[in-house]
Amino acid sequence: METTPSFDIEQENKLILKEYRALLRLLKNNISKHDKKNIREAFELAMESHSSMRRKSGEPYILHPLSVAQIAAGEMGLDVTSVICALLHDVVEDTEVTLEEIEHRFNKEIAKIVDGLTKIAGVFDMNSSMQAENFRKLLLTLNDDIRVILVKLADRLHNMRTLDSLRRDKQLKIASETLYLYAPLAHRMGLYAIKTEMEDLSLKFTEPDLYKEIARKLNETKKERSKFINDFIRPLKEELDRRGFDCDIYGRPKSIYSIYNKIKNKHVPFEEIFDLFAIRIILRSKPDMEKSDCWSVYSTITDIYKPSPDRLRDWLSNPKTNGYEALHTTVMSNVGKWVEIQIRTERMHEIAEKGFAAHWKYKENSSDNALDVWLEKVQNVLSNTEDNAIELVNDFRTELLNEEIFVFTPKGDLKKIRKGATALDFAFEVHSAIGRKCIGAKVNTKLVPLSHKLRNGDQVEILTSNKQLPNEDWLNFVTTTKARSAIKQSLKDDKRRISQEGKVELEKKLKALKIEDSEANILLLCNHFKVISPMDLYFEVASKRINLADLSKLDTVAGKIKLPRPKELESKAEIQSFDLAVKEALKKNAELLIMGESSDKIDYKFASCCNPVPGDDVFGFITINEGIKIHRTNCPNAVQLMAKYSYRIVKTKWTKQHNIAFLTGIKVSGIDDVGLVNKITNVITGQMNLNMRSISFESEEGIFEGKIMIYVHDTTELDDLCEKLLELDGILSVERFEAEEK
């Protein structure tokens, strides 16, 4: 943001007024004269406060809070208070206006929300990247007023929509933050449309070429897709009209990000993804007839198209934690393609699109307390104060992303728990005290171990014993944050108790040997016995893993311990790895620019998780012990690194190219045939004159999969190789080999 006088002020004022009137139109049905007066005052205060400020794009800064307020009102359906707070969300942070002034001009409620937005300004600030401690502050505001989070999500969405004006490294950081935490947060809030747009925009900046390619192919197949949808819908609409249902039916295209995920995770090309869209049926139904009407529509559909028995999802009887209600089914069309159909009422549709904001609107008609249940789970995550901020972010993300299953207690009560949860997770879900004493479970009357994974519809009885205590092995198979936190806390309490016994034992031994029980001596003993802390030292003593008789062998002077100097390390054999050879070559040829500096001036190495080669879009990551590591921006670990440690990301790019080979991997699959391996190696070494480091092939039931580690000079050469291999008879796919598959 900066002061820039050389703009057409009259034109800008017209644009600002146009956007303000657009905001009022969004609120016209839910606004009183008093509300309109307050919105006008908030707009004028924001306009005055931000008058000299501009965004990176050069536009007047006031257009940003106006856009955030429009998202809050139009796309989230938030109340007037939220809209006023959206207009004022940057005022206290960026200008001289105080919270006291806002409270005086408006009210305590608005001042409190603006205060929450100000406290966490760094989290979504376009000029700085999110760090975990800021995220903890963000989560803490959930208990003050959930509208703080909702306005911040509107703020982030608008920032993502205007990300083009920032530098490439800033785009990567902010897009990765959005994809890693804020899109899942929007999803958990029930804001599906916003979550989807955030994912698509994140992909647009992290994988621009792939994003454009999918968008282009979607556009090219639009006409064909529209014809298929119309042909599919026609008999459905006719039959539903005949049976008296008042409804709308339309085809909804799948998001670019969801298609990208299928290409990436299922290893199928775009052309082989059939479910590029879903059919949505929106019913106008009386409140007491909603469920029965949805099931009647389902019955009508299955009279026309055959359903897949494994693909029925009933979120009518058991809504999702974020309040989502619908009936999903997948049916076979007349041309042999599976089609997903979503059935919901207008009320359910509004909740699906606007999340908890719409949920509040219908709360008086519903006993569902989904928001409170979820907030309680968040509080459980936050209550574990001994976790560092990074662990907290990981735990919270786990809670955000989990899918749910439904299980029953012995008395038939229904409980929701995350997919993949074990019997022990369920025990802690019932109560922490029951979890700590759990020795096993009966699932559907059959005895199972603690590690047994639960399935949808299981009936679970927990078996306990007063003699049982949690142990560290439990952490290997619990999946819920509540169970993990309770086990860790129990283990820490137990360790403290045992450590206290060890401390007493050590003090007695030191006294007998006339060695001071000083902090300096205790730290020297920690170093000598290779333990991290005094508590670990005492614990090892109590556990008999440290023999106190060894203390008599130590050198002491006047009660102080003297430890011998460590031996000099023996010189290592001068074996130079491939990575080091490449690094030396790069030093001579300055292939990389890191933070604007030639690579020969900076300590760095290539990340083995993605093996970048010249031509790849790359970034540098500052490690603790290994200098800077160079990763591809589409590395499996990139989003996580850029989101959680964005302050350690440095700008990196390739400069001039030289004849240096880089190690990468390709995976080849196809139909097994005699001589196929020879054909593949002939292309690599014969036609393209490339060197291989390793090659391995596996074959099962006529299908083979080969993994080849190979040296290439750049991405162009790698692409050429993949194209040549695909031309061979029997080869079905060739793709870059990610480290996680090694």
Report angle CA 479, 480, 485 to the nearest 5 degrees: 110
Q: Tens digits of per-residue pLDDT, 530-576?
A: 777 788 888 888 888 888 887 777 777 667 776 554 433 333 333 33
Burial class (CB in 10 A: 0-12, 13-18, 19+), 390: middle
Q: What is the pLDDT of residue 669?
A: 85
Residues 589, 602: Cα–Cα separation, whole Å:
14
| Contact yes or no for 62/19 (Cβ under 8 A) | no
| Contact yes or no for 151/85 (Cβ under 8 A) | yes
What percentage of the chain exceeds 90 in pLDDT? 8
Q: What is the pLDDT of residue 234?
A: 92
DSSP string, 656-724: S--S--EEEEEEEEEE--TTHHHHHHIIIIIIS--EEEEEEEEEETTEEEEEEEEEESSHHHHHHHHHH
- Which residue is catalytic, options 94, 536, 705, 738? 94
Burial class (CB in 10 A: 0-12, 13-18, 19+), 140: middle
The structural architecture, per CATH, of the domain 220-365 is 2-Layer Sandwich (3.30)
Neighbours of 227 (CB within 10 A): 10
Decide if 93 is catalytic. Answer: yes
Q: What is the pLDDT of residue 569?
A: 33
Q: What is the pLDDT of residue 201?
A: 93
- Which residue is catalytic, options 19, 35, 59, 93? 93
Give Rg (Cα) of the chain: 31
Average pLDDT per run of 10 along the chain, which is 742 residues long?
57 84 81 84 84 79 88 85 86 78 84 75 41 56 71 90 85 84 81 90 90 88 86 91 90 85 78 78 90 92 88 84 84 86 90 67 49 60 53 60 76 81 89 87 87 87 87 85 84 86 86 80 77 81 82 73 48 38 40 54 72 76 75 76 68 63 81 78 82 78 80 81 84 72 38
DSSP string, 24-75: HHHHGGG--HHHHHHHHHHHHHHHHHTTT-B-TTSSBTTHHHHHHHHIIIII
CA–CA distances in Å: residue 620 to residues 174, 603, 631, 633: 16, 11, 6, 10
Decide if 705 is catalytic. Answer: no
Domain 9-206 annotated CATH 1.10.1060.10: no
Nearest to 635 by CA among 207, 268, 260: 207
Q: Which fold has domain 662-741?
A: Alpha-Beta Plaits (3.30.70)
Q: Tens digits of per-residue pLDDT, 131-145?
A: 455 555 556 655 567
For residue 225 the two structure tokens come to: 């897709």
Sorted by where each begins, the domain ranges of the chain are: 9-206, 220-365, 489-562, 578-654, 662-741
Strand 628-632 to strand 604-606: parallel, antiparallel, or no bridges (unpaired)?
parallel
